[in-house]
Amino acid sequence: MFRRGIGHILRVLAVMALGVPAVGLILFGPRAPSSVPADRTVVVYWEKWTDFEGRAMRDLVAHYNETQGRRAGIYVDYVTTTGIDLKTLIATSGGDPPDLAGLWHRNVVSFAASDASQALDERAARSGITQDMLIPVFDEACRYHGRLYAVPITPAAIALYYNKDILAEFAEPLQRAGLDPETAPRTLAELDAFADIVQRRGRDGKLEMMAYLPASPDTIGWFWNSWPIWFGGRLFDPGEGRFRVDTPPFIDAYSWVQAYTARFGRKDVLNFEGSLSNYSSPRNPFMTGELAMMRQGPWFANTIRQFAPDIRYGVAPFPTIDGRERAFCEQDVLVIPRGARHADEAWAFIEWLYTAEPIRVQSRYGGTGLGYDYCEVRTQAGVERRPMPPLRPIEWICWMHCKNTPLREPSPAFLETHPNPAIEVHDRLARGPEARFVPPLPNWTELNAEFGAAYRDIWMTDVPARQRLEALQKRLDVLTEQAKRRQARYGEEYP
């Protein structure tokens, strides 16, 4: 067929040049790590955590593999995965999901509503992981239409962190205004009063320091969608069946946010905001003293210890309109995707996390990543260093991540030795009657994106908050109707 000659020889050489390395790669190329024992069922566990959080989970998984996993013939293979929700979804769609996936709480309902994750009620009941074992708000956030689709792994309630040294600098004017510089504001009116006094401008008149900044979602304005909670509202009323943003708590909350820029000068505030470094940095504005107060979760103690251990700070419930304690909560969760090959073994790992006897895990990567062979216990005599206490696995990982416990009855050692000295505040907030999550809606991501666009307009422009929220409501209603139709096509109800 082919003419013989130089050309033919060159072609054969070309094939060999490409083919020989290919065959070599197949025969001698990369292999799965040999540390995976051949005689055990491998549970593929995708998790989003990196850095010290990832290392802590790896240590816990290694402990399981050495102990209970060995006895049960299970090996958990921890795989760090970025963009975990999307990748889990695509892998599930393709029929090759991980056996266990560490998602965000906002994924629970959207995964459950589209049948991407397995209901866990029966397994939980068999293992004795009952509803009353968990703090209600964390349990509720794992349910959709009453069924359990996830289990909490590291939950958190948000609180106010305030820099006592900065407030002390302004002690005199604060006291003149009837405010206590040693105590955090309890109401939003008090927060406003603090904000009016605790600020500094440069010679050019530009803002250099502020007491507090609501901020945009794209900078440090985390939890921007939770403001109505602190105004006494709920983010979602199940009786309503749709996401409402044109109600008084929303309008009051976002009018207050907008008034913030008006009070300090929009351009000044936006310039100041734009100059702030991001959260995970030594230049975090709380560490640099550019902000005297921040709304954060319990993990913030880790960040402070890591970047500015000398800051004297306090933690309190975030101020509310009427002084009542309210909280916005978040949590990371574990789900078993639909089609997981080793769902039983994946559940066995979850069961161990929740029901195993307290353990001591060898880990050099606790808290801040600085290395914890000990914990710090606050006594009347001061801070005392003790060996790490034994903790149930689920509490051990929450401790290492510096987060709340999901357990209704935590081990005394968990609260006593927790790396966040104010964990009791976060714990109390999570147990309160007004602890809330984001709305449990299948299309929350889309609704939240629209909400975010409206929030940016309110924060960055002078379109009145009420007007923008009313326009937003019309858009949300259209999207809700579309979501209802989509669910109806699969014989499902919305929400």
Partner 1 sequence: MKRTAAHSDARDGVACGLLWISPWLVGFAVFVAVPIVLSGALSFCEFDGIRRPVFIGLEHWRGLFADPLVWKVLRNTAVYAALALPVGTVLGVAMALLLNQPIPGQTLWRSVVFAPSLLPLVAVGIIWTWMFNARFGLINSALALVGISGPTWLNDASWAMPSVVILGLWSIGHTVVVYLAGLQDVPRELYEASHLDGAGPWSRLWHVTLPMISPAMFFNIVVGLIFVWQIFAAPYVMFPGGGPQRNAYFYTMYVYDQAFAYRRFGYACALSWVQLLIILALTAVAFRSSRHWVHYRGA
338 binds partner 1 (CB under 8 A): yes
459: which DSSP letter? H
Instruction: Name the minimum Å distance from CB 24 to partner 1.
Output: 18
Token pair 């009313």: residue: 470
118 binds partner 1 (CB under 8 A): no
Cβ distance to partner 1 smaller for residue 217 or 421? 217
Cβ distance to partner 1 smaller for residue 169 or 457? 457
Structure tokens at 90: 């695509």
Residue of 62, 197, 422, 453 interacting with partner 1 (CB under 8 A): 453
CA distance 403 to 396: 10
> Binders of partner 1: how many residues, by CB under 8 A?
38
CA distance 209 to 207: 6
Residue of 4, 71, 176, 489 interacting with partner 1 (CB under 8 A): 489
- What residues contact 428, with CB distance under 8 A and at least 6 apart? 325
217 binds partner 1 (CB under 8 A): yes
CA distance 168 to 180: 9
Cβ atoms 388, 360 nearer than 8 A: yes
Per-residue x/- mask for partner 1, residues 262 to 301, rule CB under 8 A? Answer: -----x--xxxxxx--------------------------
Residue of 40, 58, 431, 486 interacting with partner 1 (CB under 8 A): 486
**Minimal CA–CA distance to 177: which of 160, 153, 196?**
196
Token pair 């030795």: residue: 417
Instruction: Name the minimum Å distance from CB 335 to partner 1.
Output: 13
Handedness of CA 240, 245, 250, 252 (dihedral sign): negative
Which range in 86-94, 294-302, 320-328, 416-424 contacts partner 1 by CB under 8 A?
86-94
Which range in 251-259, 365-373, 420-428, 483-491 contacts partner 1 by CB under 8 A?
483-491
Amino acid at 392: R
Which range in 251-259, 315-323, 378-386, 450-458 contacts partner 1 by CB under 8 A?
450-458
Residue of 9, 10, 86, 189 interacting with partner 1 (CB under 8 A): 86
Instruction: Name the minimum Å distance from CB 30 to partner 1.
Output: 22
Cβ distance to partner 1 smaller for residue 118 or 420? 118
119 binds partner 1 (CB under 8 A): no
Cβ distance to partner 1 smaller for residue 270 or 397? 270
CA distance 487 to 113: 8
Cβ distance to partner 1 smaller for residue 333 or 423? 333
Instruction: Name the minimum Å distance from CB 345 to partner 1.
Output: 23
Instruction: Name the minimum Å distance from CB 1 to partner 1.
Output: 6
Looking at 100-247, list the stretches that DSSP marks H as alpha helix, in order from N- to C-terminal side.
107-113, 121-127, 136-140, 164-169, 171-176, 188-197, 227-230
Question: For 374-381, which contacts have Cβ atoms below 8 Å and span 24 or more sequence positions?
Answer: 375/417, 375/419, 376/417, 376/419, 377/416, 377/417, 378/421
**Minimal CA–CA distance to 482: which of 468, 494, 469, 470?**
494
Q: Which of residues 139-198 bind partner 1 (CB under 8 A)?
A: none
**What 3-state class would DSSP assign to 97?**
coil
Per-residue x/- mask for partner 1, residues 304 to 333, rule CB under 8 A? Answer: ------------------------------
Residue of 115, 322, 373, 384 interacting with partner 1 (CB under 8 A): 115
Question: For 374-379, which contacts have Cβ atoms below 8 Å and span 24 or more sequence positions?
Answer: 375/417, 375/419, 376/417, 376/419, 377/416, 377/417, 378/421
CA distance 333 to 311: 32
Residue of 118, 154, 216, 473 interacting with partner 1 (CB under 8 A): 216
- Residues at the interface with partner 1 (CB under 8 A): 1-2, 86, 89-90, 92-93, 110, 114-116, 206, 216-218, 267, 270-275, 338, 443, 445-446, 449, 452-453, 456-457, 460-461, 475, 482, 486, 489-490
